[in-house]
Structure formats: structure tokens, C-alpha cells
Amino acid sequence: MTTTVDPRTGAPVSRVTPLAGTRGEELGVRSEILREVQASLALWRLDLDSELLFTGDAGTTEPSRSSRRQGVELSARWHPLRWLLLDVDLAWSRARFTSPDPDPRVKGNQIPGAIESAVSAGISVHELGPWSASVFVRYFGPRPLVEDGSHRSTSSTLVNAQLGWKVASWAKLTLDVFNLLDARVDDIAYFYTSRLRDERAARDDVHFHPAEKRGARLAAAVTF
């Protein structure tokens, strides 16, 4: 919105419009027929006048062509026992550009980095005296890294856990363990041309940021 110079080439560039038009529709249904179960289903669609895409050469983002995103989301929560809760969220989406790219070299209409499938599920135990615990799983499916879908990212699954101990009515200790299974997965990935200092020529490749290794955090909360 404020830039006047291309950070990669130093050439002058035109400023972009600060806001892009977006139109969305959603149709959903929610059920509580079973007392212990809450479930919802939603169908949605989103039309954008301009997608914001990451540009690897410059290490920044730039406005792109118009697009349409649509998908299905399903959520369910089951409370079979007073102290036990299970929940799951499933999402599937399809993202496509709806206008041609001004660069004739760009083939395809898939949106790079747009996640197509995701799952979040967890199990929680609470009100067991002073103790509480939970385990959550997050799954991201493969996604296109270029417009024609010829290069795709890998999927990723992470497990996080939490253990809580209510020391007193006014104090609580919480232990969080992130990436419990120490999975070697990527948090994010891009595909673009780059060259290392010891390489003779630039080449196309996948650039990624790995997920953090297994870690823990101990927190103490006091209320008064």
C-alpha cells in the first residue's frame, strides 16, 4: 500500500489498493438431537477480487488475480461422561484463480499454499479432583506450491498435550508439551527459484520452515 520501490530490483512500482473486495456465502446446520453430542455442518464460498501471494525472489507479498474459495466444514463435540470431552473438526476446501495470469509463462489456476484438507481432534479430561489433561492432534494435508499443481507440499501431523494441577482455589500449574511425538514435518513451504553462495546457477526448489522440535512450557497462574 505504501511501497514505491521493488525490494528485489530497486525499480519503481505502483502502489496497490489497500482493500480488495470480497463476497462470501455460508449455509449451515447445527444439531443437538443427542444430549451428549453437538454437531454442525457448513458449506461456504468466498470470492476475492485479489489474492495476496508470497513472492520468494523478493521475500515479500504481492497482490494477485481474483479467486474463488469454497469448501465444507464439519464439527462435532461428544461429552459421554461428566469428566470426558471429545471433539473433532474436519475441513475441506478448493481454491482456484478465476482470472488468467498476466504472465503467459504461468500455467494453471491453483492457488499456491492454499490448504485443501485439515483435521483437528482432541480428547480432554477435566474435573478429576485437582487434575485435568488434554491431547490434541492437528493435521494439514498436502497443498499446491505452484499454479499447475506440479509441485506440492508434504502433509504434516502434530500432537500437543497439556496437564493441569489445581494447587488451590487460587493457584494452578500447567504443563504444555508441544510436538509430543517430535515429528519431523514442515510448518510452511514455498516453491521458487533461488541460489546458494556455493551454487553456480539458480534453480527451482522447495523452501520450507521445519516445525519446532519437541518442547515444554510450565506455567503458574494465580487469581486474586
Would you give the DSSP letter of residue 99?
Answer: S
CA dihedral sign, ordered 194, 196, 197, 202: negative
**Cα–Cα dist 164/173, whole Å:** 6
Specify the pLDDT at position 70: 98
Q: What is the pLDDT of residue 183?
A: 97
Residue in the structure block whose three cell numbers are 454437531: 39
**24 to each of 2, 46, 47, how far by Cα in Å?**
28, 4, 6
Surface-to-core class of residue 23, CB atoms within 10 Å of its CB (0-12 exposed, 13-18 middle, 19+ buried):
exposed
Nearest to 46 by CA among 29, 12, 79, 23: 23
Which residues, including other chains, have CB under 8 Å from residue 12's CB and lie 6 or more apart?
Answer: 4, 5, 6
What average pLDDT does the chain have?
92
Tell me the whole-structure pTM to 2 decimals: 0.86
pLDDT attached to residue 219:
97
Give me the pLDDT at residue 210, please.
Answer: 94
State how beta strands 215-222 and 171-178 pair.
antiparallel
Cβ-defined contacts of 77-81 (< 8 Å, 24+):
77/37, 77/38, 77/39, 78/36, 78/37, 79/36, 79/37, 80/36
pLDDT at position 195 is 86
The maximal CA–CA distance of the chain, rounded, in angstroms, is 67
pLDDT of residue 198: 87
Per-residue pLDDT of the chain (224 residues; tens, 9 = 90+): 777 887 767 888 777 777 889 999 999 999 999 889 999 999 999 999 999 888 776 677 788 899 999 999 999 999 999 999 999 999 999 999 999 988 888 899 999 999 999 999 999 999 888 999 999 999 999 999 999 999 999 999 999 999 999 999 899 999 999 999 999 999 999 998 888 888 889 889 999 999 999 999 999 999 98
Note the pLDDT of residue 196: 84
Q: Where are the domains of the chain?
A: 22-163
Q: What is the pLDDT of residue 57?
A: 65
Task: For residue range 127-147, list pLDDT tens digits in order.
Answer: 888 999 999 999 999 999 999
Report d(CA 218, CA 4) in Å as an integer: 46
pLDDT digits (tens, 9 = 90+) for 21-44: 999 999 999 999 988 999 999 999
| Distance from C-alpha of 216 to C-alpha of 125, rounded to nearest angstrom | 20
How many whole angstroms separate alpha carbon 217 and alpha carbon 199?
Answer: 40
